[in-house]
Amino acid sequence: MRVYLSIFYSLLLLVSVNAFSQRQKVIYGEDNRLDIYDVRDAQLVEAAKSTAGVLSNTDITFIENGTKAKLNTENYGTGMRLCKKERFYSQPTAVFCSASLIAPDLVLTAGHCIKSENDCSSTSFVFGFQMNSETEAVTTVPAQDVVKCQKIISRELNSSNGADYAVVKIDKKITHRKPLELSTNVNLSKGDEVVVIGHPSGLPVKVSGGAQVRTSDDAKGYFVANLDTYGGNSGSAVINPSNGKVEGVLVRGETDFVSEGGCKVSNICANDSCRGEDVTKGGYIKKKLQTVLGGGGGNQGGGWRPRKH
């Protein structure tokens, strides 16, 4: 059963209505989520650097004469009323969705994370929210790693059975992080390997592999995979580990948690069971952007432009 992230509203101290349509996700087989300091694949480490958390403007405080930004956080385990055996129990949570940089001034997320221009005006993206070690969380980042949503460039939302994405223009260019490239592969096959990078349950960025495509629906613009994701992963880039390109953006999935003895634990499904996680195809999004921006659209704004493959 799919539910909205409004469950997390009071738990994550979010004031933005963006969170209301966030979908929950689940663990398939083993929990493959890794903190960035545990990731050995250099290409995935670089992709994680281009991953952002989505949060309300009011959950950021600029300090030290505006040169740094401090995130409003709370404890994951106590805030979510989890059982103490849950992974990442003591880590902080801060964001309600995930996103990725796809051009110096364009960010990709899920359509239900930013539903309107009003949502956009109250939303920021933060890069670098991560764990540097088992106990060291980065909750204060350089001001250059926080950008605001300026306007929606292209968006679509089919909440239960179709494409769900938003590409937004940000208020300043990011030149110190490398944009991710959207794939044009529309013919994903069952068994193709995929990796998701984002902020499960609003945690510091996680990289999660060991997943495969289950089914692919070209007509509806999305595929289904057994990715280990949670609420907060919506908007996460789903990466092809062989080339680093974005095969899609994570948007929907199974229920996160189940009750166990008065607290909550992760919902565990076999790799081939439960509903799977829905991912809007990168190729589908790229075609939509070509329609909106045209071949020269990126040249005018200094942002996304069609790439040759």
Which residues in the chain show pLDDT less than 50?
1-23, 296-309
- The pLDDT assigned to 254 comes to 87
- The pLDDT assigned to 294 comes to 77
Domains of the chain (ranges plus CATH)?
1-297 (2.40.10.120)
Write the DSSP string, the chain: ---BGGGGHHHHT---GGGGGPBP--EESS--EEEGGG---HHHHHHHHTEEEEEEGGGEEEETTTTEEEEP-EEHHHHHTB-TTSTTTTSEE--SEEEEEEETTEEEE-TTTS-SHHHHHTEEEEE---BSSSS-B--EEEGGGEEEEEEEEEEEE-TTTS-EEEEEEESS---SSPPP-B-------TT-EEEEEE-GGGPSPEEEEEEEEEEEETTTTEEEE-----TT-TT-EEE-TTT--EEEEEEE-S--EEEETTEEEE-EE-TT-S--EEEEEHHHHHHHHHHHH-TTHHHHHTS------
**Dist. CA 201–CA 116, nearest whole Å:** 23
Closest of 183, 200, 201, 179 to residue 192, by C-alpha: 183
- The pLDDT assigned to 79 comes to 95
- The pLDDT assigned to 295 comes to 58
pLDDT, tens digit, 9 for 90 and up, residues 99-144: 999 999 999 999 999 999 999 999 999 999 999 999 999 999 999 9
Q: pTM (2 decimals)?
A: 0.87
